[in-house]
Amino acid sequence: MKKWASIIIPTALVGVIAASVAIPSFASATTNPNLFVLYAGSMTKVMEQKVTPSLRQEYGLVFQGEGEGSDALAQMIRAGISTPDIFISASPSVNQKLLMGAKNHNLVKWYFPLAADQLVIAFSKTSKFYPQLMAAEKGHEPWYKVLESPGFRFGRTDPLLDPKGLSTIFMMELAQKYYHQPTLFKKILVTTENAKQVFPEQSLLAQLTTGQVDAIVAYKHEAVEWHVPYITLPKAINLSDVKDAASYAKVSVKGKGGKVEKGAPILFTITIPSTVKNEQGAEKFVRFMVEGKGHQILMKDGFTPVTMKLFGQASAVPKSLQSLIPGKK
């Protein structure tokens, strides 16, 4: 597999991203936002259309937010470009490698799991391959054989900037072993970074719904939200089951300097970084998302509940949230 380097955001891109973050994505120009949230781009629809109005009704909190690839958002926090009250990531490793510890200025000291998810192959109803994709959805034809078809247009996110893009790499590696198809990765993805397939996290589904691509790798919750057909993959490769964590970890990507990223179950996380300004509002939001109406919204949206656990320093968790830590009241 092709090696890929550590994540570096070019100066020009930093300026563009900074500008985009400064613009409220779902707060009107006449609203005075009092909570700033950075969240995984795959959550854009549920955050804008469901979480926002429910949070306003529950707590009177109005917030502005930005949805991007989780790695890109974490890099923005590290660089001081963005100073959110809340950070929601699509992978625990983003917190661990980019925001936690002295080398990352202890920007994050703890996080809670928010929800689990799984990878699926979402496809377009207007695709010329629709009959074959439907056959694969019903188990009558191998899904990977359809994706290998000449002229098939496939989409995914950047493994350098988005956990879903990285999980796609792991999923394809696992699929090679599971189906005993040693060339599956090369036939479908070609390379780890294939510019013809890679799209920004926040626009990938739009590529599918407008018919620009035939199929994409998506989280199940995205397919549910957008009402698009999808192929369910076996648990052995879809990264959904924490019980299969050891098996997922058998595939990996080696980056610059020999650093290895290992396959892992998909887990969305939530934390209050040290950049928080509205501490009281942030604490209310965490509880709302972990055990309140926000959590109920996520479950109806296609996410999967997870066992509550604290990652990081218990002493750093705000007093109002200590009761969320298992074993504490």
- Here the CATH number for the domain that contains residue 252 is 3.40.190.10
Kindly tell me if the per-residue pLDDT of 58 is higher than 60.
yes
pLDDT at 253: 85
As a 3-state breakdown, the chain gives helix, strand, coil percent values, each rounded to 5, of 45, 20, 40
Let me know whether 140 and 226 are in one domain: yes
Query: Do 251 and 133 sit in the same domain of this protein?
Result: yes
Pick the residue with more confidence: 4 or 146? Answer: 146
Residues 18 and 138 in one domain: no
Instruction: Specify whether 89 is located in the same domain as 183.
Output: no
Task: With beta carbons less than 8 A apart as the criterion, state whether 112 and 269 touch.
Answer: yes
In this predicted model, what pLDDT tens digit does every residue of 97-137 receive, in sequence order?
999 999 999 999 999 999 999 999 999 999 999 999 999 99
pLDDT above 90: residue 22? no
**Strands 119-123 and 215-219, bridge-based pairing:** antiparallel
Instruction: Flag whether pLDDT at 152 surpasses 50.
Output: yes
256/320 same-domain check: no
CA gap 272, 325 in Å, rounded: 15
* CA nearest to 292, candidates 272, 270, 312: 270
The mean of the pLDDT values for the chain is 88
- pLDDT tens-digit series, residues 264-289: 999 999 999 999 999 999 999 999 99
> Is residue 1 a part of any domain in this protein?
no
Q: Examine residue 242 and state whether it is found in any structural domain, yes or no.
A: yes
- Tell me, what's the pLDDT at 257? 55
Last residue of a domain, one of 241, 262, 283: 262
pTM to 2 decimal places: 0.84
pLDDT in the model for residue 272? 98
Structure letter (DSSP) for residue 312: E
Q: What is the pLDDT of residues 220-269, one digit of tens each?
A: 999 999 999 999 999 999 999 989 999 999 999 875 556 788 999 999 99
Any domain includes 329: no
pLDDT on residue 155: 97
Predicted confidence at residue 327, as pLDDT, reads 77
Q: Residue 21: pLDDT band by 50, 70, 90 thresholds? A: very low
Determine the pLDDT at residue 237: 98
Range of the domain at 156: 119-262
pLDDT in tens, 173-182: 999 999 999 9
User: Which helix (H) or strand (E) segment is 296 a member of?
Assistant: helix 293-300
- Domain annotation covers residue 157: yes
4 inside domain: no
Any bridge partners for residue 37, and if so which?
65, 86
Measure the CA–CA gap between 153 and 131, rounded to whole angstroms: 15
Residues 74, 155, single domain; the answer is no
Question: For 133-152, what is the mean pLDDT?
Answer: 97
Task: Indicate whether 280 and 306 sit together in one domain.
Answer: yes
**Tally of structural domains, the chain:** 2
In a domain, residue 94? The reply is yes
- Same domain, yes or no: 140 and 242: yes
Q: What is the pLDDT of residue 329?
A: 57
Residues 6+ apart with CB under 8 A from 248: 170, 174, 239, 262, 263, 264, 265
- 34 and 48 fall within a common domain: yes
86 shares its domain with 187: no
Question: Across-strand partners of 253?
Answer: 261
Distance CA 139, CA 172 (A): 18
Helix, strand or coil for residue 268? strand
Q: How confident is the model at residue 299 (pLDDT cuts 50, 70, 90)?
A: very high
For the segment 208-214, the average pLDDT, to the nearest whole number, is 94
Q: Do residues 132 and 208 both lie within one domain?
A: yes
